[in-house]
Amino acid sequence: MSKIEAQHVDFHYGSFHALKDINMSIKEHEVVAFIGPSGCGKSTFLRLFNRMNDLIPDTRLDGQITIDGQNIYDRSVNVDELRKNVGMVFQRPNPFPKSIYENVAYGLRVNGIKDEAFIAEMVEESLRGAALWDEVKDKLKKSAYALSGGQQQRLCIARAMAVSPSVLLMDEPASALDPISTAKVEELIHEIKKDYTIIIVTHNMQQATRVSDKTAFFYLGQLIEYDNTNKIFTNPSKEETQNYITGRFG
Amino acid sequence: MKKVFEKIISGIITCSGFLTSVVILLIVVFLFSEGLGLFSQKTIEEGYTLVVNKSNPVEELNAKQIKEVFDEDVTNWEEVGGKPEPIMVFRFEDMQKYFSEEELGPNYENATACINSLVEKNPGIVAFVPEEFAGGDGFCGKRLKDHTISAGEVFGGNEWFPTATPAAQFGFMPLILGTVWVTVFAILFALPFGLSVAIYMSEVSSARMRAILKPVIELLNGIPSVVYGFFGLIVVVPLLQDVFGLPVGESGLAGAIVLAIMALPTIITVSQDAMQNCPRSQREASLALGASKWQTIYKVVMPYSISGITSAVVLGIGRAFGETMAVLMVTGNAAVIPLSITDPLRTIPATIAAELGEAPAGGPHYQSLFLLGVVLFFITLIINSSVEYISSKNK
Amino acid sequence: MDNKNISVNNHARKMLAQNVAFTTFRILSGVIVTILFIILAFIIIKGASVLNWDFITTPPTDGMKGGGIWPAIVGTFYLMVGSALFAFPLGIMSGIYMNEYASHGKIVKFIRMMTNNLAGIPSIVFGLFGMSLFVNFFGFGDSILAGSLTLGLLALPLVIRTTEEALKAIPNSFREGSLALGATKLQTIWHVILPMGMPNIITGLILALGRVSGETAPILFTCAAYFLPQLPESVFDQCMALPYHLYVLATSGTDMDKQIPIAYGTALVLVIIILFVNLLANALRNYFQNKLKTN
């Protein structure tokens, strides 16, 4: 059974038809990469999975998205519970202006956990999980802004992991990072995929080939092709995909 | 030719760039030069002197003691450091009560002698008379030493009575405390409302509601203070009088309410701007972790914009502190140290506005009002500088 | 299962806190908006009953117990014009200096600090200063000239800020484009920068005028007259002014019952001026923005 299922998803920003009849199913512990030119709708689609687009006024969604068999746009769904289960890492590192420790603890605290020992345990576990523990264990009380950009992004990943989500959405998580930090983040994705279902939006096709099991190519609001990453990059079945990836590689 | 012209214009523009600095400098110079004159004024009215009997060991009285003696709050020399002897107060205006017109002479030729005899007869006397009549041959009185008004008397004095004779009282304390008192209450009233409206507009309301509220708040910011004062006088003052059963409705409370309304637009706009400056990425990060909208507001948005919110509050304080007309119209203007917020009180700006017109130019009263202006100037300067400091710290 | 229960409880708690908080904000905001509307409605309704053509165009009669407010309107108009003539050119030049000429960031910072400080000085202090500088030191006496200059000083920081911000919003490419064509700095400012910044500057100037029209404290000792039977004839005459007139009507006088309605009318005229100024500024802002878009 698939972890995430999107059926006939249409999405409008006002009168702009941003996503057109998208169907997709993602299995548990899979890493799926969304690629496509800017404005193709890949980020919009990603933000539907944790209902982040709810924040934008004057939008409309048709079709259905289910996670673990539950329609996440059903009225009985608590958006904050959904977002706890579906973590998100953003394009630019966006730590809070708090200490490293408090950044990771934030999600636990807002979800009503008061047990400090448990929080401390989870903070350490998440920072270890994000391969950041050794670098920051002596300065947990320091401001998160004292970290480098790459460390900040891994902190944001740790922060997302701390609330024990089962899905992680990553919106171009390495686009603002230098190559070394990018490599670290990619390595991290490899390590954590056993625990999470990961969807990653990326502009960088090498990155897609390096980290993902499956790749979805979006173009002008449509899902053109969705297949194993290997197949997409070696033998795409659609001409648009071929054009896009060769254009970029060439 | 063209070059010269360009040079001249550039020169003028450069000069005008420093205009505000020059104005501030001039304000300081002019206020100080008028205000500091107060400290070279004598405690006792110009041209007059205080005379006591020679046997009286008291050499000097300070302004406060003189006031108490002449108000007959102090009735024995013992209380001001002399022998136990009841005080007899004599003012020059009382002459005709003691002496007939013939005794004085048609043009007060004999006034000196009359005063002399009076002082001689009464060991407990203190006479407030023109200098020209205190002395002469066989003068058996003693002039009390006069001294200039001291800074301690002014800044520490708790009585403001600039038209009192023989010694005017220039204690700033009641005015400073009155100003602080209304300002504090105004901010206490305005803060919860102002922040609520700011949060509502920035985070809760729909865009359409915001589009309605914003111009209304701007409009209220523009309404002249005298209109607020008028509203306060006609509506708030009688209302308070009824609700609290006050003898007079003009009170610190009325001032604080009107000031709170006036400070609101500043607090709302500045803190709302600050909250809207909190980047979307911060809000999204919080929401994506499962925080509710409200948790995001108080755990992320408000800490992020705390310096802007603080600036808003401090600016509101500044606005309330320096406000003149509205306060003048509704606070009752009693220059006493306020004990309760429902008492009438008087602020520094209101004092200047109410009294400068009547104070003779160059006299101590006039100078004391300029000195109050100096105090006001520096307090607001401190307030403004702290706003600058807070907002620069954030960058 | 347990986890799910905790989760549900926590969600309920979060939502409860949120609802309580948001309801509080809504109520407090509602209270404030109501108060503000009451103030406006009060002035408008009470004032409307006395406001008519005669009220605006005739002078007070019968020791301020009757008649209109014509001299006060004229006086306020003169003061607005006078302070504008003084503050606008100087303020705009000062703003130009800050954005176009000053080379050191430190100088700009210093001037900006001074401008902000000047803006924060209470109006009564301007009154004191105007009295000692213009009325006494320069010997202008209580006059429109002294009042206009004092109000001009008060408006100065507003004009400077507006100008600086308007010019700051103009991209550097325009300056470079003009300079690259061989224009001098002054020509660039005159022909390119100022025309582009003008819409925003004008909006700010209008708001500054509104501010000037309502100020009382600075003119108390520099200009304002309690009552003048005729209109001022030169800049060295005193004049009546709307805000001071309102103050006088509301606080001193012999027959409050007859004065208060006139005070309502005066307050309404002041509010209308402010309303007009705000609407005009907003309309201009929108107009220029749309014009910019369609271009």
pLDDT score recorded for residue C294: 60
Q: Are residues C149 and C40 in the same domain?
A: no
Is the pLDDT at C210 greater than 60? The verdict is yes
Here the tokens at position B179 are 């100003």
Is C168 in CB contact (< 8 Å) with chain A?
A: no
**Structure-model confidence comparison of residues C199 and C127, the more confident one:** C127
Q: Is the pLDDT of residue C54 over 80?
A: yes
Give per-residue pLDDT as tens, C151-186: 999 999 999 999 999 998 888 888 888 888 888 888
Q: Does B219 touch chain C (CB under 8 A)?
A: yes
Choose from B289, B292, B293, B395 for mutation: most chain A CBs within 10 A. Answer: B289
pLDDT at C156: 93
Q: Number of A:B CB contacts under 8 A?
A: 69
**Residues C112 and C184 both lie in one domain:** yes
The string of pLDDT tens digits covering residues B106-134 is 777 777 877 888 888 888 888 888 877 77
Region B230-251: mean pLDDT is 88
Which residue in B305, B283, C13, B214 sits closest to A55, CA to CA?
B283
Looking at the structure of chain C, the number of domains it has is: 2
What average pLDDT does this structure show over C65-84? Answer: 89
Beta carbons of C117 and B196 less than 8 Å apart: no
* pLDDT (mean) for C64-79: 86
Q: Which amino acid, one-letter code, is at C86? A: F
Residues C21, C70 share a domain: no
Interface of C with A in 5-34 (CB under 8 A): 6-7, 9-11, 13-14
User: Do C44 and C62 belong to one domain?
Assistant: no
Q: What are phi and psi of A75, to 5 degrees?
A: -65, -25
Distance from CA of A112 to the nearest CA of C (A): 6
What's the mean pLDDT when you consider all of chain A? Answer: 89
* Overall number of domains in chain A: 1
CA distance A103 to A96: 6
Instruction: Assess whether pLDDT exceeds 70 at residue A110.
Output: yes
CA distance A171 to A202: 7
CB neighbour list of residue B280: distance below 8 Å, 6 or more residues apart? none
Mutate which: A78, A108, A164, vs C, most C CBs within 10 A: A78
Q: Which residue matches tokens 């706890």? A: A84
**Which of C50, C131, C132 has the highest number of chain B CBs within 10 A, making it the mutation to test binding with B?**
C132
Does the CB of C185 have a partner CB in chain A at under 8 Å?
no
Q: Choose between B97 and A150: higher pLDDT.
A: A150
Give the range among A66-70, A193-197, B46-50, C234-238 with minimum mean pLDDT.
B46-50
User: Which CATH number is A118's domain given?
Assistant: 3.40.50.300
Residues C76 and C196 in one domain: yes
Q: What is the mean pLDDT of residues B154-178?
A: 85
pLDDT at B336: 79
- Least CB–CB distance from B291: residue in A80, A97, A160: A80
CA distance A65 to chain B (A): 18
User: Can you tell me the distance from the alpha carbon of B350 to that of B185, in angstroms, rounded to the nearest whole number?
Assistant: 17
Tell me the nearest-neighbour CA distance from B273 into chain C, angstroms.
16
Is the domain of C209 the same as that of C175?
yes
Question: Residue B43: helix, strand or coil by DSSP?
Answer: coil
**Range(s) of the domain holding residue A126:** 4-249
Domain annotation for chain B: domains and CATH numbers = 48-147 (3.40.190.10), 173-394 (1.10.3720.10)
Alpha-carbon gap, residue B364 to C213, rounded angstroms: 33
Surface of B (139-178) touching C: CB under 8 A: none
- Give the residue with greater pLDDT, B157 vs C82: C82
pLDDT-derived band at C8, boundaries 50, 70, 90: low
List B141's β-bridge partners, or say none. B53
The reply to whether residue C94 touches residue B225, judged by beta carbons under 8 angstroms, is no
Q: Which residues of B touch C156 (CB under 8 A)?
A: 19-20, 23
Q: Which among C31, C153, C282 has CB closest to B215? A: C282
Q: Is the same domain home to C89 and C15?
A: no
What confidence tier does B179 reach under pLDDT thresholds 50, 70, 90? Answer: very high
Domain membership of residue C202 as a residue range:
57-294
Compare CB distances from B288 to A52, A97, A98 and report the shortest one's residue: A52
Taking the complete model, does pTM exceed 0.90, yes or no?
no
Contact between chains at C133 and B30 (C-beta distance less than 8 A): yes
Q: What pLDDT, on the 0 to 100 scale, is given for residue C1? A: 36
Residues 6+ apart with CB under 8 A from C4: none
Percent of chain C with pLDDT over 90: 37
Task: Give exposure, B148-187, as e/b (b: 16+ Cβ within 10 Å).
Answer: ebeeebbeebebbbbebbbbbbbbbbbbbbbbbbbbebbb
Which of C6, C9, C14 faces A80 most closely, judged by CB atoms?
Answer: C14
| Reported confidence tier of residue A11, pLDDT bands at 50, 70, 90 | very high
Chain B residues in contact with C278 by the CB 8 A cut-off are: 215, 218-219, 222
C65 in the same domain as C30: no
The residues in A 83-112 lying below 8 A from C, measured between CB atoms, are 84, 110-112
Residues C77 and C30 in one domain: no
Residues B93-100: what's their mean pLDDT?
78
* Distance from C-alpha of C139 to C-alpha of C132, rounded to nearest angstrom: 9
pLDDT at residue A113 in the model:
87
**Which residues on A lie below 8 Å from C7 (Cβ)?**
81, 84, 111
The residue with tokens 């807002």 is: A110
Q: Looking at the structure, do residues C36 and C80 belong to the same domain, yes or no?
A: no
**Chain B stretch 299-318, residues whose beta carbon is closer than 8 A to a beta carbon of chain A:** 299-300, 303-304
C114 with B16: Cβ contact below 8 A: no
pLDDT digits (tens, 9 = 90+) for A156-176: 999 999 988 999 999 988 888
Say whether B299 and A97 touch across the interface (CB within 8 A). Answer: no
Does any CB of chain C come closer than 8 Å to the CB of residue A80? yes
Q: What integer is the mean pLDDT of A110-114?
A: 87
Using the predicted structure, report yes or no on whether residue B395 has a pLDDT greater than 60: no
Do A33 and A205 meet the contact criterion of CB atoms below 8 Å apart? Answer: no
Average per-residue pLDDT for chain C: 87
Sheet holding A86-89, edge to edge: A86-89, A167-171, A197-201, A31-35, A214-219, A222-228
List the 330-369 stretch of B: residues with Cβ below 8 A of A: none
The minimal CB distance from B376 to the residues C14, C18, C122 is found for: C122
In chain B, which residues have their Cβ closer than 8 Å to the Cβ of C101?
10, 13-14, 17
